[in-house]
Structure 1
Amino acid sequence: MDNNIKKPKNKVWLENGIVYYVISKPVDEKEAILLDNFGTEFINSGQAFYIIIDIRQSSQFTSGARKVWVKFLQNSNAKKAAIFGGNIFVRTLASFVIAATHKKNIKFFNNKINALKWLMEK
């Protein structure tokens, strides 16, 4: 990857057809766009069809960030998305994002094991 490309503060990577996110730092609109760009590249290129988002360490999502996440999760090339973890406040924000997508293939889980199990179900 080009060294001039700005990288997100949070972690995002591709593994076995899944885009993994670990959100451990606050996410504003700029950070959300960086995260979206990486994930969208993996999804739209056909390298991944699934998304898993770990919000166990997450503390803040701005309104602008939530709008970016809604758009990203509405990507028709993504077969399923699972979100897991987080405190009650962050889980509530995640539930608003899920509802705003109007998609049935996005679910919230308490832990990574259940999230991955659901993602891999046929």
Structure 2
Amino acid sequence: MRAGQRLTFAVERVLDPWFDRTIPIADPMQGAPSANLAMRLTEGLRPLPAAGWCALAGSIGRHRSAAFALGQTQAIVARHSGRLWIFANDLRLCYGNNRGLLTLRIAMAEPP
């Protein structure tokens, strides 16, 4: 991506249900609330503490400060140039217990 580009994101299809371990994620764009005490205690360790568990997220470059939740905005505007990364908002050590498959549409948006 180049600085100034605007993108929109939409889940087109969920091909295999989205799960955080055994917790179903009904809406991958929003993620899920904490289901137990351990999850509540570690919310602040996720890339986006305010977003739900396993909510679809992205960043331009690998900087944590560049992360954004895909479901919380209509479009994002790249503040700097770099590679676009898409990931589930989860603890780094817990990605191995996630599962699911979806089709995500990423489109260039017109300026407002």
Q: Does the alignment reach a TM-score above 0.5?
A: no
- TM range, normalised to the smaller chain? under 0.3
Taking CA–CA contacts closer than 8 Å with sequence separation of 6 or more, which of the two structures ends up with the larger relative contact order? 2
TM-score normalised by the chain length of structure 1 = 0.25
Higher fraction of helix? 1
Higher fraction of strand? 2
